[in-house]
A = this chain, B = another copy of it.
Amino acid sequence: MKRLMYETFLKSISKFTTLTEGEKLLFTSMLDFRSIPKKTILLREGEICQFEGYIQKGCVRIFYMNENGCEVTLCFAVEDWWVTDFDSFYERKPSIFFIETLEDTEMYVFTPATKEKLLTSVPKFERVFRLLVQRNLSAVQKRLVTTISKTATERYLEFIKMYPSLPLRVPQYYIASYLGVSPTFISRIRKRLSTK
């Protein structure tokens, strides 16, 4: 019963390692299920992030808010993605980010305590999460390079190619804040592209 719920989840972990039935049980027993309505703030700047979540269903974004109240979307996370502020969650530091749901969302979450327990009881998971973080790092590195060296139009095209479903799921101005472009200009980009 419960095993079924975790199916996609365990499949996603199995990309990195092979788990015994016992380890699978241990893993899933550490997780809390949470169902969260749209537009809920899960973490505020200054708070210490208390969760590392695997998204079963829904959509979440991490964003930074600068002095002027201007937002930068660090990332979107949808089904089969992990979401947390690593720096805050693992180092117990106040976060500089906000995390909010953009849709009704279902997540399996670790707390710092359950995550630590998992890692110490099955060291194999250290490796799994190291690999996850490495992939994340590599993705952010590539995005940084793109942000620096491409025009807004190129970045927009790359974005819709990489995440074709997101423009249908989230407001356009969030995509603007992800690409580092004003909402106005996203609109003009789309217009230019559609007339060609």
Task: Report which A residues bind B (CB closer than 8 A).
Answer: 64, 66, 70, 72, 74, 86-87, 90, 96, 119, 123, 126-127, 129-131, 133-138, 140-145, 147-150, 180
Contacts and interface: CB of A to CB of B under 8 A. Distances in A.
B180 A87 contact: no
A158 to B, nearest CB: 13
Given A126-B126, A136-B137, A137-B140, A90 B148 contact: no
Nearest to A134: B86
The list of the 10 closest CB pairs from A to B, nearest first, reads: A148-B180, A87-B138, A130-B130, A126-B126, A137-B137, A123-B123, A64-B145, A133-B133, A140-B140, A72-B149
Contacts of A130: 126, 129-130, 133
Please report whether the interface of chain A is mostly helix, strand, loop or mixed according to DSSP: helix
A69 B157 CA distance: 21
A144 B145 contact: no
Copies of this chain, count: 2
Given A133-B134, A134-B90, A141 B140 contact: yes
A145 B145 CA distance: 13
A74 B145 contact: yes
A64 B149 contact: yes
Contact of A66 (B119, B142, B149): B149
Contacts of A147: 144, 147-148, 180
15 contacts: A72-B145, A74-B141, A74-B145, A86-B134, A86-B137, A123-B123, A126-B127, A126-B130, A130-B130, A130-B133, A133-B133, A137-B140, A140-B141, A144-B144, A149-B180
A126 B140 CA distance: 21
A144 B72 CA distance: 9
